[in-house]
Chains A and B, each alone.
Chain A
Amino acid sequence: MSIASPINLILLSLFVVLVYWHFRPKQPVTLPRGPPPVVFRTYTPKTLLEFNGVDGRPVFLAVRGRVFDVSPGRNFYGPGGPYENFAGRDASRGLAHQSFDEEMLTKDLSGPLDDLKDLDADQLENLQSWEERFSEKYLVVGKLVAEGDPEAPKS
């Protein structure tokens, strides 16, 4: 009768494996990192223009100086959508007038921003409700300033 018989050795090694399995160091869980945050930028009408959703680029639009990333609503605001005219543009006047026409946009991209001084109370309320809806749904990724503004990025 000996301790070092094959069956005993087998049981012993099984035991060692079990002990290791029980006490083995457990790696803490790590989650994959989320997408990196978008950097807040200052746009001018000209630099905003390229974010019109063509070729899979993001869709931005500006309301009263705030630039919203409306890419999640690409079907509406992107190319082919009912609001496509606003993509990459200052949409304040159009939203206030509830009109999606070309003439609502500021033609002169190097000129000052639309000051919206001529809007009546109803239109301002319209604009306000649009802005609130955007703030709830979309991310503000930058602000819009006129070309030549001291805050405008130097190109």
Chain B
Amino acid sequence: MADQAPILEKLDAAVSEVLADWNIYTTLFAGILAAFAIYSVVSNKDPDVHPFLLARQSTASPIRQAGESATYRSLETPYGFPLRSGLNVKDPGAPKWTAGRRGDLRDIWKTAVRGALNEDGTTSGKQGKIYTVLGKNAIEHSLSQVTQEINVIGRHLQKAEVKTVAVCLTDSIELLASIFAGSFYGFKIVLIPHNLPAASLSSHLQNAKADALIAEVGSVDLSLVTKANKQISNVIWVAKYGNRHMDWHEVPKDAKETLDVTVWHELAEEGKDLAGFDVPEYDPTTPAPAVNTVWPSESQYGEFIDFKQENLVAAISALGSALPRTQRFNSSDLVLSIDSLSRSYPLCQIFNALFSNASIALNSVAGENVDFALATKGISPTVIIASSRTMSEYHDRVMKPHTGLISSLGRWVQARTLDAGNMPSKNFFSQLAQVGPTAELSLEKLRLLCISHRVDADASVRMTSEQLTDLRVYMGTRIVSALTGPGIAGAISQTNVFDYRDASGPSHFGAPLSSTEVTLTGVPESQSDDYPEGQILVAGPAVVGGKTTLSARGRIGTDNTLELSA
């Protein structure tokens, strides 16, 4: 005891000596310290998703073939369970616990027209809307008006007994109506990218054996196209608002007898009284015809992808369920596609939006490479669908150069929140970060950005993790990034919407969708058990023919996500 007393006394003396220096600055420091400690505790939130779900994002099969990796699947449909193959449509009157039908595009339109359901399953009568964005203006269309056009065009082409209709339009109501008309009235739709030179358009029509063509007035040289395509018996012109007063019935001289040329808005006007606003009756057991698209390839002409309705509905349903419940499209969303609907990812996402009773917006300039700021101008969407090329160019050309010191500081603080697994909410720092890079945008309501990357696209437009973090911070939106491939409806894989992790280098593409499974082939035995790398083989209901091997090589990362190698 005797020894300890002096030590305690000395300690006491030391403490009082230190405290004796307490002055106004000390109070200030103590105040700041306390305030920061309280802020640190209060602002501490659980991450948006359990970190384990990001640490292993897909399941590997317990068995593999020699020279291949295990087969990777979405967590929703692990090995041994059937992959998602349809929309699970439940007809009214069907017994409550039976499994739903796979469904097809007709069910999607029917659901869109029916409107959103209340929680108890009764219809609320709240339909989505369709907007077409023209520069700074957005024109609103009601679904029943589109249904009427579907009926008019469908009946017109059905009466002409055409089997295959080539549609060569920019993203528009007419494009959407033609696709649904094909499903309801039994003709195959071939979506051909617009603005093609006449020669390649003509060869596309030959390949597709199209007997009818729907195209924009003035965009196609009809005499050249019909000369090479004697099988074409019907042409429907779509005239923009500005040039509807003109006469578009002129027929090339040498094709006059066989060719029936009509104009969309005139047909719609004439058939208005007969067509009605009701969705046509259909027998769900009869299969609806296919929808073909063109996949751009090295050769000039591209490759035809014959999407069966089964492929499309599997992909649409998988894209819907890939988002967690709180993030799914719903009736209060407005989904804008600035990527061309002739590409399968935007097409399936737009169908997904219609099936979820969301409103959609189409932009006639939409494509793989568009000016992001211009394309999003006339409207304030909650969801945007864009290509990786559009986004990466916007990032490099506009965002990066406009990131000053203040934005960088804001970004740094926001990136810490992302790092902790939380989406930063709008606050002082988010405004600080966004002040420069997104000054020209007006996207207050944006909550989700869906980016798709073509597997054979230029590697320089592949988004890096850092770019994705920039987009999240500067635009204040969550992001999913999907990988698409030829012959695969929708996407091969898509990132988790809550995956904000920022590793260096090109971003991964998440886990396979629940409608696909991914295997790597040509894997050397020496590395097949850990981090295999090989050619990507995709199988499942969303794949045309059930299975396809891509030319690209991929890798499965430590978190079981798919990456492109090199």
Contacts and interface: CB of A to CB of B under 8 A. Distances in A.
B40 interface: yes
B501 interface: yes
Nearest to B67: A39
| Chain A CB within 10 A, most for which of B24, B62, B559 | B62
A37 B64 contact: yes
A8 interface: yes
Nearest to B36: A18
B51 interface: yes
SS class of chain A's interface: helix, strand, loop or mixed?
mixed
A34 B416 CA distance: 31
Interface string A1-20: 11101111011101100110
A47 to B, nearest CB: 15
B501 A28 contact: yes
A39 B33 contact: no
B66 A7 contact: no
B97 interface: no
Given A15-B32, A15-B33, A39 B64 contact: yes
Contacts of B558: 30, 33
A113 interface: no
Contacts of B25: 1, 3, 8
B64 A1 contact: no
Interface string B51-87: 1101110001111111001100000000000000000
Nearest to A42: B66
A18 B29 CA distance: 13
B33 A37 contact: no
A1 B65 CA distance: 78
Interface string B35-56: 0110010000000000110111
Nearest to A35: B62
Given A11-B26, A15-B33, A28-B55, A37 B62 contact: yes
B283 interface: no
Given A31-B55, A39-B66, A23 B416 contact: yes
Contacts of A28: 51, 54-55, 501, 503
B120 interface: no
A23 B51 CA distance: 18
A139 B40 contact: no
A123 to B, nearest CB: 28
Given A28-B51, A40-B66, A1 B23 contact: yes
B70 A37 contact: yes
Contact of B60 (A26, A31, A34, A40): A34
Interface stretch (B14-22, B467-475, B479-487, B546-554): B14-22
Given A10-B18, A28-B55, A31-B55, A39 B65 contact: yes
A135 to B, nearest CB: 9
| Chain B: number of interface residues, binned into ranges | 35 or more
Nearest to A14: B33
B36 A31 contact: no
A42 B19 CA distance: 81
A145 to B, nearest CB: 15
B261 interface: no
Nearest to B31: A11
B55 A7 contact: no
A37 B51 contact: no
A140 interface: yes
Contacts of B23: 1-2, 5
A141 interface: yes
A14 B62 CA distance: 51
Contacts of A15: 29, 32-33, 36
Contacts of A23: 416
B420 interface: yes
Contacts of A26: 419-420
Contact of B29 (A2, A8, A31): A8
A152 B114 CA distance: 59
B66 to A, nearest CB: 5
A6 B503 CA distance: 41
B529 interface: yes
B128 to A, nearest CB: 38
A25 B415 CA distance: 10
B257 interface: no
A38 interface: yes
Nearest to B44: A22
28 contacts: A1-B23, A1-B24, A1-B25, A2-B23, A3-B25, A7-B26, A8-B25, A18-B33, A18-B36, A19-B36, A21-B40, A22-B36, A25-B419, A26-B419, A28-B51, A28-B55, A28-B503, A30-B558, A31-B52, A33-B530, A33-B558, A35-B62, A37-B63, A37-B69, A38-B63, A39-B63, A39-B65, A40-B64
CB-CB nearest 8 A-B residue pairs: A5-B21, A36-B529, A29-B51, A37-B70, A37-B64, A11-B29, A31-B55, A29-B55
Given A7-B21, A28-B51, 12 more contacts: A1-B25, A5-B21, A6-B21, A29-B52, A29-B54, A30-B55, A31-B52, A37-B61, A37-B70, A38-B62, A38-B64, A141-B63
Interface of B: 18-19, 21-26, 29-30, 32-33, 36-37, 40, 51-52, 54-56, 60-66, 69-70, 416, 419-420, 501, 503, 529-530, 558-559
